[in-house]
Structure 1
């Protein structure tokens, strides 16, 4: 462990930024996180995580108590008191699916203004997901313009994409599959590699050092490939539903045993959601189109994912006929288990479709209820437990595979529901066991 450790600042205290900041602080680095939201800054400094993530709040409280982390709105304080600044602000989608770089551009300008006052070398690391060309054509020129300094001489720039999975953010920060460094020059790359070698020690993961645009594209290619596997298995699931006695879970197991394919991301369901895969696929499509290339495969991946949530409503209609006035229970709102994130969640699309059908919707999720209330307010009902949610329901749609839903037995549905009809959108229930006592309809399951 180095005695002269670099001090670190992280711009953006959202999911990637806060996990990064806490990760470095947990290894004894002095870290200053910056965020423009005063409420978020206050929560973090009190040891309260602004979002749900397993183990995050406990570790946050620990590093605050040790004096290794603090959060501020002040760019100047953070940058002048650090050697390396990570940009980890959001890059949301515009209406046309292209990337919105407002937060990245604002951070670049602020960093440049502060660097104008700094006499020593400073390394800027773009951790935000940005399309190829962003760092060299926007971030770098902006910092040079507002600082009056030259990149490669008075400051350095690298791209270092994050590959964090929500629900496993801290684990992925501390034990990543690999480190990717896109460097403007060798000095900048050496400095960032040195930081990571100190951070990981003997557990240093595989390292790739490359040019900046390649590093930017690695992140998009990574997420696009994962999205492609999900849409592929959902396409196969839709074929299985038309094929008597076919079961996509067995098909997935059969192809997953092929070492060239592997079992990961072959769980058929109602589509992918969250803050990364949907926006990154759309951004890569928009970027490719702007370059004059039409990415047919990515467009198909996106189209399949856009239509997949509708399968739950289709199956509801198949079971109940006209849905007007029917009471439908939704189990699971977060886009995946172990998070409260409902951004681009499948549940949102399903709820909206059901409301258009005139359905009475009641929902339950272990941690995502507050975020859902903000979006739907009084247009739907909110249950206090899974049992309260399915009580007197005409149909139940399982949307998110939380562990507590996996323990529900057929009897729980039979005893509580008006009509015991369950649509298993994540394939967590034993079809033979459930179909003995109720009507189970599942994604990717051909009828007998």
Structure 2
């Protein structure tokens, strides 16, 4: 079964989702307001870096996948996915203005859609958003009845750097819906994917996404707190967490102690859940602690450097890794940002290398020195901080001999070279 799909938002989630749906045989139109992104997508050139995405986009662009700046495709769509941003407000709550705007725009065009259509939220939104914001906005703008339009919530669980794999081989597919008819339409889109499908109510599906990300973030902060104690006691935290992770009740994933979590999801989603809890009279002590541990963790690396080199002012400090994780150029909430910021404020001469993320980090720190190789960043350095687990860093060895002083602190355990120390080990 091939369905006509419109996806509002050509960002990271929308582009990966649309490209993978096209690969599954559906007819996909991505609605994106940025004309440069639209041109790139139609030319088969992804405007973001993601493993495997380029090949799939090139294969499907101009065939089963197209991008446009208007909403006209909604008029003939079987299903519309809303995949716009929900950035945090200053208080940590989710900004839903893009969701509301997209819903109204969809509704206006749906006036001309004579068939049953399901509006599906894929953006991460607080529980109640689909029912209280999307649903009323679409109905009001379209002038249609609830029998003519279905509503669903279908959260994404895509890891940057591995998103295509995660989409095509997911752990589960969660579908929250207003009625069985809407839920079945969303399930039809995934008919060629082998994964358990969980049908829930709209608000439960919205909460599943927040709860999942917040739990994973909690595992990371817990591991970091244990790691900080292990550091003081002279214990290898990776040996400890390996033993802990073999417990079937816990599992081995997200137990790697280090500099903390970043990216577009974990910090934003935990903050939004904290804000939601407070709005409803709850005191989210655990979740607030998760954020506090994560905020403080990268600064511990600076403290270690100061103990090793003394006053930082005037010292040459190399940063290896700028992206928040490997296999991406995304620097959103990268733990390298607060580290570089503190080093600059303390007068250090910062050199940096990352395989992909340099152009993005230059927008934040244009004045530091960027190098085309790890060796370039390490040459003459008084200390080195490893901030991203790029596999190529595991091969660095003789390059450390280019440093003025071989002081190497790992925020991620990736080096095979034995001369450094870790933030938690």
TM-score band (shorter)? over 0.9
2:284 maps to what in 1?
295
CA distance in 2, matches of 1:193, 1:247: 46
Correspondence for 2:69 among 69, 73, 78: 73
Verify: 1:367 aligned to 2:367, yes or no. no
CA distance in 1, matches of 2:163, 2:133: 28
Superimposed CA distance per residue, residues 309-357 of structure 1 (whole angstroms, 9 cap, x where no aligned partner): 1011111111111100111000000000000000011011111111111
1:212-291 correspondence runs (5 A): 212-243=202-233, 245-291=234-280
Q: CA deviation at 1:38?
A: 1.0
1:324-343 correspondence runs (5 A): 324-343=313-332
CA distance in 1, matches of 2:317, 2:145: 61
Q: CA deviation at 1:192?
A: 1.4
CA contact (8 A) 1:315 1:441 kept: no
CA distance in 1, matches of 2:24, 2:129: 31
Verify: 1:434 aligned to 2:418, yes or no. yes
CA contact (8 A) 1:427 1:443 kept: no
Verify: 1:424 aligned to 2:414, yes or no. no
Could you tell me which runs of 5 or more consecutive residues in structure 1 were left unpaired when the two chains were aligned: none
Correspondence for 1:139 among 129, 134, 138: 134
CA distance in 1, matches of 2:276, 2:189: 32
1:385 maps to what in 2?
373
CA distance in 2, matches of 1:12, 1:119: 24
1:40 maps to what in 2?
37
Q: CA deviation at 1:441?
A: 2.4
1:309 maps to what in 2?
298
CA contact (8 A) 1:227 1:301 kept: yes
CA contact (8 A) 2:393 2:415 kept: no
| TM score, norm. by length of structure 1 | 0.93
Verify: 1:25 aligned to 2:22, yes or no. yes
CA distance in 1, matches of 2:227, 2:415: 16
Correspondence for 2:390 among 402, 407, 412: 402
Q: CA deviation at 1:39?
A: 1.1
Q: Pairwise CA RMSD of aligned residues?
A: 1.0
CA distance in 2, matches of 1:20, 1:262: 28
CA distance in 2, matches of 1:262, 1:44: 39
| TM score, norm. by length of structure 2 | 0.98
2:167 maps to what in 1?
173
CA distance in 2, matches of 1:396, 1:10: 43
Tell me, what secondary structure is at the counterpart of 2:51? coil
Tell me, what secondary structure is at the counterpart of 1:283? helix
